[in-house]
Chain A
Amino acid sequence: MLGALVIVFREVVEAGLVVGIVLAATRGIAGRSWRVSLGILCGVLGASIVAAFAGAISNAFAGSGQELLNATVLIIAVVSLTWHNVWMAEHGRELAADMRRVGTEVSEGQKPLAVLAIVVFVAVMREGSEVVLFLYGIVVAGTDMGSLLTGGVLGLAAGAALSALSYYGLVALPLRYIFSVTGLLLTLLAAGMAAQAVHFLQLAGVINVFQSRLWDTSWLLSDSSILGRMLHVLIGYEDRPTELQVIAYAATLAIILVLIRMARSERQPRTAS
C-alpha cells in the first residue's frame, strides 16, 4: 500500500505544482476555472491514451518513441510558457491595475489563459500516464487490490493537498507582487522543462553532443528524493545535469528575459495600445 501511495503521490505532486502555479498566475482572470479544468481533463484523457498505446509509442522510431513524445510535449510547454511571459510583460501591468480597480474579475487575459491551459494539459498528461499504467497494473494483477487502491487514493489526496497548499501560499502574496512572482516561477519552470526535453533527446540518441555531466550534487540533494523532485519540477533542479542540459536551461532563461525586456521597451514610448 505504501508503495502505491508513494508513486501516486509523487506523480500527482509533480503535475499539481504546475497546476497550482498556473492557477495563481491567472488569479482574477475570468473563465480561468473552466480553462484549467479543461486542461486537467484533457490531460487525464491524454494520459489514458498514452498509457493505452504505451507499447506502440515505445516501439516507434527505433525504440525512441517515448522519449521523442516526451521531448515534443515538453518543447510545446516551453514555447507556451515563453509566449505567456512575454504577453504578461506587455499587458501584465494593465491586468494588475484592472484587478485593483474593478475588484475581482478581468476579461482581458484570455489568450495567456488558453496557453497556460496547454501547459496544464502537458503536465497532467506526462505524470498522469505513469499513474494510469501503474493502476492498470494493479487491476490486471488482481492481487491485493484493495490495499493498493487505498494507497493510490491516499496518494492522490495527499498530492492534491500539497498542491493546494502551494497555490494558497502563492495567492496569499500581495496583489502587487503576484504577477512578478508567478512570472518568475513560470520562467524557471520553462527553463527546467527545456533541460528535461534535452535529456529525453539525449536518451533517444537524437543529440549526442555535450553529454558529460557538469556536476554531481546527489550527495547533497538527490533528485529522486521528494524535495529533490519538487525542486526538479519547480526550478528544474538536476543533481547530475549534462552540459547540454545546463546550456538549454541558461539559454531558455536568457531568451525569455531578453524577449520580456524587448516587449517592455517597445511598450514604453507608445501611449495607446
Chain B
Amino acid sequence: MRTLIGLFALLMIFAPVANAAEEIAVTIKDHKFSPDEIHVPANQAVTLRVTNADATPEEFESHDFDVEKVIAGGQSAIIRLQPLDAGPYRFYGEYHEDTAQGVLVAE
C-alpha cells in the first residue's frame, strides 16, 4: 500500500499542470454527444473537455484515437489527444453504444 501511494505521488510530480492549450467542449446528455461531430486541427495536440450531464456514468471511448475514460454522472473529464493525421475518427460511449456515437474530424 505504501509503495502504491509513493509511486502515485512520484508520478504526480510529472503530471502536467493546467493545460494552456484551448479546450474543445463536448457534452453528453440523454446518452448522446453534442456536438456529435467535432472538428480539430490535424497534426496538433488538442484537449477535449467532456461533460457528462446525465446522472449515470459513461465511458468515453475511441478505438480510433485510442482513448478510454470513465466519466461519472454530472462530472467532466479532460482528454488529451496526441497530434492526429487528417481524417475521421469515431468515438462512442461504451455504456450506451446504441445512442452515444460521435465522430472527430482532424483537418
- Report which A residues bind B (CB closer than 8 A): 3, 7, 51, 54-55, 58-59, 61-64, 66-69, 71-73, 75-76, 129-130, 133-134, 136-138, 140-141, 199, 201-206, 211, 218, 222-224, 240
Q: Are A62 and B19 in contact (CB under 8 A)?
A: yes
Name the residue on B nearest A202 (C-beta).
B82
Give the interface of B toward A (CB within 8 A): 3-4, 7-8, 11-12, 14-19, 55-59, 63, 66-67, 69-75, 77-80, 82, 94-95, 97-98
Write the chain B residue with the least CB distance to A61.
B15
**Contact (A62, B8) CB under 8 Å given A130-B59, A205-B16, A224-B63:** no
Contact indicator A76/B80 (Cβ below 8 Å): no
Could you tell me the distance between the alpha carbons of A58 and B16 in the complex, rounded to whole angstroms? 14
CB <8 Å contact, A62 and B56: no
Q: Which residues of A contact B63 (CB under 8 A)?
A: 218, 222-224
Cβ A76 vs Cβ B7 within 8 A: yes
Q: Are B66 and A66 touching (Cβ within 8 A)?
A: no
B72 CB contact (under 8 Å) in A58, A68, A71, A138: A58
Contact, CB under 8 Å: A133 / B80 = no
Contact indicator B57/A68 (Cβ below 8 Å): no
Which of chain B's residues has its CB closest to A75's CB?
A: B7
Rounded to whole angstroms, the CA-CA distance of A184 and B3 in the bound complex is: 26
Given contacts A68-B15, A140-B55, contact A73 B4 (CB under 8 A): yes
The smallest C-beta distance from A43 to any residue of chain B, in angstroms, reads 14
Task: Please indicate the chain B residues that have their CB under 8 angstroms from the CB of A203 in the complex.
Answer: 67, 79-80
A138's nearest neighbour on chain B, judged by CB, is B56
B17 lies within 8 A of A137 (CB): no
A66 to B78, alpha carbons, bound, how many Å?
10
Q: How far is the CA of A255 from the CA of B76 in the complex (A)?
A: 39
Closest 10 CB pairs between A and B? A63-B78, A137-B56, A55-B72, A55-B75, A54-B72, A61-B15, A133-B57, A205-B16, A72-B8, A206-B14
Please, could you name 12 A-B residue pairs with CB atoms under 8 Å apart, sorted by A? A58-B75, A62-B18, A72-B11, A76-B7, A133-B57, A133-B59, A204-B16, A206-B11, A206-B14, A222-B63, A223-B63, A224-B63
